A and B are shown apart, each in its own frame.
Chain A
């Protein structure tokens, strides 16, 4: 099934050998990642345009659904096959990795929280009505959102760390 689909995609009728398949997979993986980033950027632009026009288009919704399906599928399949695992061979290495994850989680929470706050308190309200909604409740919501995001990222990262000692 997979081979048939690949053959159709690249326009050949017979099976490829191991070198050719390896190169095809590499190219498809890179273009897939590039497409994902482009599609995320397009989704963001669509969201801005929709906010400006005060509508919710089928394109934005479709892009959101497609991107979420793609991201979840890739994440769960890679996680299931343990391709993203971090193996620790000593207690020190484990502690070092956990420390790095804590720092990474804090940074991710800070960046994501700030970005969402700026987007939802400044950019989107300004595009929608020309006014900026700067309230304490908005700040607290995105502060909690940032903390939740950072903690989630930390636990996702921690689930990838394997003790091998």
Chain B
């Protein structure tokens, strides 16, 4: 599971606000947060920049 939802909440943004800032639909943010859509690298970078973090933190799965 990625950490987009967690970092969005830390940034104090709603799904709609994050979607508007990145330039995508709210539905797409929801799908990314629920791991139902694999975003392109371009979109991952845009999300990481808006959420003030990096790709590893957002998308890298931790080994258990």
Contacts of A19 in B (CB 8 A): 24-25, 27-28, 31, 37, 39
Q: A18 to B43: give the CA distance in the assembly, Å.
A: 9
Chain A residue nearest to B32 (CB atoms) is: A19
Number of A-B contacts (CB under 8 A): 21
Per the 8 Å Cβ criterion, residues 1-29 of A in contact with B are 16-20
Q: For chain A, give the interface size range.
A: under 10
Q: How far is the CB of A83 from chain B (nearest CB, A)?
A: 19
**Which chain A residue has the least Cβ–Cβ distance from B28?**
A19
Contacts of A17 in B (CB 8 A): 23-25, 28
In residues 7-40 of chain B, which contact A (Cβ within 8 Å)? 23-25, 27-28, 31, 37, 39-40
A7 nearest CB across to chain B (Å): 14
- CB within 8 A of A20: which of B28, B39, B40? B28
Write out the residue numbers on chain A whose beta carbons fall within 8 Å of the beta carbon of B23. Answer: 17
| Nearest A-chain residue to B43, judged by Cβ | A18
Q: How distant is the Cα of A27 from the Cα of B45 in the complex, in angstroms?
A: 27
The 3 residue pairs across chains A and B that have the minimum distance between CB atoms? A17-B24, A19-B28, A17-B25
